[in-house]
Chain A
Amino acid sequence: EVQLVQSGVEVKKPGESLKISCKGSGYRFTSDWIGWVRQMPGKGLEWMGLINPGDSDTRYSPSFQGQVTVSVDKSITTAYLLWNSLKASDTAIYYCARYDCTGGSCSFDFWGQGTLVTVSS
């Protein structure tokens, strides 16, 4: 069974750094890209970026380029989303999802449960 399990709730102060994780299991982790999606309180879904666990190749939304870093440790089948300096506007739920491209058409087929990040002084 494919599963993506994300790390728990985070409460941080502005200016602090943070790394949240997404552990994949039940499939060949290096075969599919992993994506990150933001959902701010009461708002819609926003794509942030993708990483290829096989070679760490990345794609970023221009809205998030330079604001976050996506990384991966394939030895422990885990992807990460990192901030160097959090802002209050980073308060949101962050989802990871597997980017399945079977048959030539891609989409996010399995999702993590989400990580709530609250940034407040």
Chain B
Amino acid sequence: DIQMTQSPSSLSASVGDRVTITCRASQGIRNNLGWYQQKPGKAPKRLIYAASSLQSGVPSRFSGSGSGTEFTLTISSLQPEDFATYYCLQHNSYPLTFGGGTKVEIK
């Protein structure tokens, strides 16, 4: 199974900050990775697919990069509505595996 190691597990940041979240795969997954945002009591929402493609309707302050084993999700200027938990998901091979999540909290 491919392990997805996501870091940090939590972070505190202020509105306007640049935030970077990383996922490392235990083996190469090409660009077969997506990023999801989940707010309390809500279903996850896709932000990024194919490692760097922005989901339609998602603000351009979100971006994804990486290929192979290292991937990043960047929020260029954190907004109040971005406080949530973020997950990566690899779909290169079965079983599909999520990262452990990153909780972004208000400083």
Whether A106 contacts B91 by the Cβ 8 Å rule is yes
Those of B60-107 within 8 Å (CB) of chain A? 87, 89, 91, 94-101
Whether A111 contacts B45 by the Cβ 8 Å rule is yes
Q: Given A44-B101, A105-B32, answer yes or no on A112-B96 (Cβ-Cβ < 8 Å).
A: no
Closest residue on chain A to residue B48 by CB atoms:
A107
Whether A95 contacts B44 by the Cβ 8 Å rule is yes
Whether B87 contacts A45 by the Cβ 8 Å rule is yes
**A45–B96 alpha-carbon span in the complex (Å):** 11
A contact residues around B31 at 8 Å (CB): 105
Whether A109 contacts B32 by the Cβ 8 Å rule is no
Whether B34 contacts A62 by the Cβ 8 Å rule is no
| Interchain Cβ contacts under 8 Å between A and B, 11 examples | A44-B101, A45-B98, A47-B98, A50-B96, A103-B50, A105-B32, A105-B91, A107-B91, A109-B46, A111-B43, A112-B43
Q: Given A62-B1, A95-B44, answer yes or no on A109-B95 (Cβ-Cβ < 8 Å).
A: no
Those of A105-121 within 8 Å (CB) of chain B? 105-109, 111-114
Q: Is the interface of B mostly helix, strand, loop or mixed?
A: loop
A contact residues around B97 at 8 Å (CB): 47
What interface size band does chain B fall in? 20 to 34
Interface size on A, residues (CB 8 A): 25
What 10 A-B pairs come out closest when comparing CB atoms? A107-B34, A105-B50, A111-B43, A61-B95, A47-B96, A107-B49, A44-B101, A45-B98, A106-B91, A109-B46
Whether A95 contacts B55 by the Cβ 8 Å rule is no
A contact residues around B96 at 8 Å (CB): 35, 47, 50, 61
Given contacts A103-B50, A106-B91, 12 further A-B contacts (CB under 8 A): A45-B89, A47-B95, A62-B95, A95-B43, A97-B44, A105-B31, A107-B34, A108-B89, A109-B55, A111-B43, A111-B45, A113-B43
Residue of A45, A62, A103, A106 contacting most chain B CB atoms (<10 Å): A45
Q: Given A45-B98, A47-B95, A62-B95, answer yes or no on A109-B49 (Cβ-Cβ < 8 Å).
A: yes
> Separation in Å of the B67 CB from the closest CB of chain A?
12
